[in-house]
Structure 1
Amino acid sequence: MNRRTLLGSALIGGAATAASAASAAQSAAPRASGRTGPLNLITDVEGIKIGQAHDAGVRTGVTVILAEKPAVAAVDVRGGGPAGRETDVLKPENLVQEVDAIVLSGGSVYGLASGDGIAAWMGMRGRGYGMGGAPGVPPSPIVPTACLYDLANGGDKKWEMDPPYRRLAVEALEAAGDRFDLGTAGAGYGAEAGALKGGIGSASALMANGWTVGAIVAVNSVGAVVAPNGKTFWAAPFEIGDEFGGLGSAGLAASAEDWGLSKGRARPRENTTLACIATDVALTRVECQRVAIMAQDGMARAIRPSHAPFDGDTLFCLSTGKKEITDPAMRQVAVAQLGNVAADVLARAIARGVYHAANYEGQTGKTWREL
């Protein structure tokens, strides 16, 4: 055996040893503990339903988060290029403290019409905020809306005076229920997560005290959701079971300047991750705001980079008020616990959205499963 053969054998043997060590380290890597709700979806939170609709030709869609009864809400906007409707109404100092629905939509500014469709549908059925108006005057449904940019994904956007978002929103609302699709669906239908196909993700957590926290997210980020040179999700340390592949966290490493599978030519206003956190715990508007602020850290745990000038990252928080915080002295501790759990749940939901995403018809090479 010549020297080159010996060297080659040593390299192959070394690689095999390294691979075995990596596999063993992955198997031995600590896994997150915790319990999900029965569906591992945001609808595990009592009082929340989800409806979704999409248009395959346009490559876009809408997701509606329906509160069965008006829910206390807040919003936290971190991205540099948001597109939203009725987010100012959620400021703690303003009059209306509850919302009827939250809408996440594709379509950028055109997607804002999705909120119009929901408001008209609800108003016609007598749902919304009213102050004893004149007979025949419908109430005013409170429907905060946030949109992501999916206009450059190859779908047919020649809609002229008839963008599909109002129609899609009504279709989504009428389909609302406990179960819904993840991945290439709803507001995530046309989304891209860095260089990979993005989508709708959702997850839930059942806390030790019986409280439930859930998240839903449309992942359309500049940043990457996996570490460079592999397919390990940045959210891996928070994974419960094998909900997004069960690869463990052994592959997590990157320099501060290595964005990995991010969008190579990021441009302003063309990327946004939209999310909603829900809990069954009764919270005030100010407490909801704090949970929303803390939950935004879930984006930073799962996407690298996040909250960039190119993104319009927006996160809503809903409280359905089904369960009370019984110890007033521990109220702020409880809010901190909820916020921390919400951040982890959101990180998991982001990974699940990309994990379940499928290519459009005729497209290849874009999904996490193809890495």
Structure 2
Amino acid sequence: MTAPAHSDNHRLGLAAVPGIGVGHTSAGDTGCTVVVAPAGAYAAVDVRGGGPGTRETDLLEAHNTVAQVHAVLLSGGSAYGLAAADGVMAQLEKAGIGFPVLGPDKPGPIVPIVPGAVIFDLLVGDPQHRPTRHDGAAATRQALADLAQRDPHTTSPHPAARGSIGAGCGATAGKIRGGYGTANTTIGDYVVAAGVVANPVGHVVDPHTGQLYGDPTITVDPAAYADLESLATKLNTTIGVIATNAPVTKAQARRLALTGHDGLARAIRPAHSPLDGDTLFALSTGDGSGVDVDLLGQLCAAAADMVEAAIVDAVLSAEPGLNTACLADIRTTT
């Protein structure tokens, strides 16, 4: 199911950013999503939830040595899902992608840099069903194949997959299914895009008006929404990636991740609860030379808008299943 309310400028999502590829492994009630940047991407993270499940986030601090990452893992399975990152690393190493330990152009081991975050989806479907290293490897192969089909400096020609896929398979959003959503836009010569797994403790629907917080033009029947059983536990999480080809520094990428949470808070209420693990990564495939304050402000505003739009896209695109209603079941607008 695709999101008919979204225009074509949102259809590519993260793949609208040159040098970025996306792959998914979907396993019914859970899965993982891998965002690859084989040539490296300047990266940062901002964690706002009180109960995050993450890996390799400390190295993204601006004062730490490694400036670029090669992939980001988004996964279901709670903390168990972090095991999928082992498969991401193995597949990248096999492809010759990673940090050269002894220096560029010197023989020796390479270490792919793969931060990641997970959602809690263990109460949807089988709690023993979790993404593994094999799932991470498969999603990475798909992401690399996505990039191989085009010149690394151009965008994907194909609409992005979205909805009940990858890490969004077992996602819930309040009383309805969540999912994986995307959005992208342009700021001058640069692309800003987001891919988000919407799995919040909070609601995406205003229970009083039936309007989506992130897009009030989309409404559901408030009575029908009230009749649905609450699905979210106090252990849910929304995670995602913001990407751009603007040449932001590592520190400026942190500002993109930070302001991206404004979009999360606009689309989900309440957000950033003590047991949410809300986490947003920011990636730049630019040269890291930095942008001026005016452009950075525009990029940050776009990051928030794209995160908000990606969350709306996730719930619009979600399919019914797992004994859970989706937004399309109770939507009152076309």
C-alpha distance in structure 2 between counterparts of 1:212 and 1:283, whole Å: 12
C-alpha distance in structure 1 between counterparts of 2:236 and 2:192, whole Å: 26
Corresponding position of 1:141: 112
Asked if 1:290 is matched to 2:290, the reply is no
Name the TM-score, length of structure 1 as normaliser: 0.76
SS state at 1:93 partner: coil
User: Cα 1:198–1:261, aligned 2, differ >3 Å: closer, same or farther?
Assistant: farther
C-alpha distance in structure 1 between counterparts of 2:226 and 2:267, whole Å: 13
Matches within 5 A, 1:109-258: 109-132=79-102, 138-155=109-126, 157-158=127-128, 163-176=130-143, 177=146, 178=156, 179=158, 180-207=160-187, 209-236=188-215, 247=218
User: Is there any run of 5+ residues in structure 2 with no aligned partner, and where?
Assistant: 1-5, 147-155
Matches within 5 A, 1:38-49: 39-49=11-21
C-alpha distance in structure 2 between counterparts of 1:261 and 1:128, whole Å: 50
8 A contact 1:291–1:339 mirrored in 2 = yes
Matched residue type, 1:339: C
Matched residue type, 1:358: E
Q: Deviations over 1:249-302 (max 9, x none)?
A: xx9x9xxxxx9799858654x200001100110010110011111111010110
User: Cα 1:100–1:109, aligned 2, differ >3 Å: closer, same or farther?
Assistant: same
C-alpha distance in structure 1 between counterparts of 2:318 and 2:172, whole Å: 10
8 A contact 2:24–2:167 mirrored in 1 = yes
8 A contact 1:211–1:323 mirrored in 2 = no
C-alpha distance in structure 1 between counterparts of 2:136 and 2:262, whole Å: 29
C-alpha distance in structure 2 between counterparts of 1:235 and 1:38, whole Å: 15
Matched residue type, 1:190: G
User: Cα 1:210–1:263, aligned 2, differ >3 Å: closer, same or farther?
Assistant: farther
Matched residue type, 2:313: R
Matches within 5 A, 1:320-335: 320-321=285-286, 331-335=292-296
Q: Deviations over 1:190-209 (max 9, x none)?
A: 100111100000000122x2
Matches within 5 A, 1:249-328: 264=230, 267-268=233-234, 270-321=235-286
8 A contact 1:150–1:190 mirrored in 2 = yes
8 A contact 1:298–1:347 mirrored in 2 = yes
Corresponding position of 1:5: none
User: Cα 1:358–1:264, aligned 2, differ >3 Å: closer, same or farther?
Assistant: closer
In the TM superposition, residue 124 of structure 1 has moved relative to its aligned partner by 2.6
SS state at 1:296 partner: helix
Q: Give the stretch that moved more between structures: 313-322 or 103-112.
A: 313-322
Asked if 1:64 is matched to 2:34, the reply is yes
Identity of aligned residues (%): 39
8 A contact 1:62–1:169 mirrored in 2 = yes
User: Cα 1:94–1:45, aligned 2, differ >3 Å: closer, same or farther?
Assistant: same
User: Is there any run of 5+ residues in structure 1 with no aligned partner, and where?
Assistant: 1-33, 238-245, 254-258
Asked if 1:81 is matched to 2:51, the reply is yes
Corresponding position of 2:328: 369
Corresponding position of 1:359: 320
8 A contact 1:296–1:343 mirrored in 2 = yes
Corresponding position of 2:72: 102
Number of aligned residues: 307
C-alpha distance in structure 2 between counterparts of 1:261 and 1:214, whole Å: 35
Tell me which stretches of 4 or more aligned residues in structure 1 moved more than 4 Å: 259-268, 322-325
Matched residue type, 1:370: D
Corresponding position of 1:50: 22
User: Cα 1:126–1:340, aligned 2, differ >3 Å: closer, same or farther?
Assistant: same
8 A contact 2:264–2:308 mirrored in 1 = yes
In the TM superposition, residue 323 of structure 1 has moved relative to its aligned partner by 9.8
In the TM superposition, residue 148 of structure 1 has moved relative to its aligned partner by 0.4
Name the TM-score, length of structure 2 as normaliser: 0.84
Q: Deviations over 1:197-247 (max 9, x none)?
A: 00000000122x23210000001101111111454211116xxxxxxxx53
User: Cα 1:266–1:55, aligned 2, differ >3 Å: closer, same or farther?
Assistant: closer
Q: Give the stretch that moved more between structures: 259-268 or 35-44.
A: 259-268
